[in-house]
Amino acid sequence: MKKYILLGLVLVLFTACENQEKRYTQQSKEIDIVKTAIKNYNDKVYDTSIYADTAKTFFNSSSKDKFMSPEETMAYHKANDEIYSSRRFTDNDPEYEMVVTDDGETWVNCWLEWKGTLAANNKEVTIPIHLTYQFVDGKVVREVGMWDPTQVLLALQEIERTNAMSADEKAIQKTIDNVTKAWNSNDKDLMYANMVNNIIRTGNGTTIAKKQSDYGDFMEVYFSAFPDFKVKIDKTVIVGNTAYINWTCTGKNTGSFMENEPTNKKIETHGFSVWTFDKENKAVKEDAFYDNLVVFHQLGITPPTQ
């Protein structure tokens, strides 16, 4: 008899659990609706059908009074589209979940990666974004988006500075862009085309190059050791015929470097260069300053004694 009673209790508990609404899931019709909204955004389909008429959207806003209606939200996306030549949420590990709160509210949270390319300068920006949607009767009644806009703001400021440059400054900036492109593609011909024949290059006060071929040999030292060697310009200030540049270099050591065997380790080093240009906006001299010990430490090798 006791066995039947216990079996009955188990069945009652099991049935109660089955009938209880799920408080957390990663598969639901609400999540599917959010995924459709993300796809619509990527496809530039400005559809408000997922929203209730009274829905409120809050983007990077902590104020209850600063919200957008569904129509204003679509207008917001359309206005931003004019800034970018391309933009979308990527397929890089998106996460979706639905939760039901203690108050019975249904929310879908998603963590996404957004990538855009600015139309004015082709600068690519990647930003992690958190979006959350509250649902009532299958419709979104509240949308909240939070992200760090710093990268975009700095990029837009850079575009404004470029637009405000004089003709001479823009010509020098073009030379800098070409030199950076030459570094990133190991294109010595492009490098030489933007330099005078007797280009001077110093590193921490030591003369490394006195002519174009010397500079090319210097490039080869790094590309033979780091075939994926890349240079990123962090900041440029142009004053007259001189440019002051902060830069970051990265690469993976798969070749011999300064008589050391490859370590297959990655480097990231930061430095500062002062570039001087002639009246034809060709590079005359580069004085570079950086900490070689950072590179040797990252590679785990002993620096040369001389």
Q: What span, in angstroms and rounded, lies between the C-alpha atoms of 98 and 105? A: 10
pLDDT tens sequence across 54-77: 999 999 987 888 999 999 999 999
Share the mean pLDDT of the chain: 91
Q: What span, in angstroms and rounded, lies between the C-alpha atoms of 238 and 173? A: 8
Return all residues near 19 (Cβ < 8 A) that are at least 6 apart: none
From first CA to last CA, the distance across the chain in angstroms is: 92
Q: What span, in angstroms and rounded, lies between the C-alpha atoms of 79 and 200? A: 47
pLDDT tens sequence across 247-276: 999 999 999 998 899 999 999 999 999 999
Return all residues near 274 (Cβ < 8 A) that are at least 6 apart: 242, 243, 244, 245, 286, 287
Q: Which tokens belong to 151?
A: 């990268």
Top pLDDT among 203 and 13 is at 203
Report yes or no on whether pTM surpasses 0.75.
no
Q: What span, in angstroms and rounded, lies between the C-alpha atoms of 86 and 81? A: 8
Q: What span, in angstroms and rounded, lies between the C-alpha atoms of 87 and 72? A: 19
Which of the four pLDDT bands, split at 50, 70 and 90, describes residue 16?
Answer: very low
pLDDT tens sequence across 125-152: 999 999 999 999 999 999 999 999 999 9
pLDDT tens sequence across 21-55: 578 999 999 999 999 999 999 999 999 999 999 99
How confident is the model at residue 12, as a pLDDT? 44
Question: Cα angle at 278 between 276 and 279, to 5 degrees?
Answer: 140
Judge contact between 192 and 216, C-beta under 8 A: yes
Percent of the chain with pLDDT over 70: 92
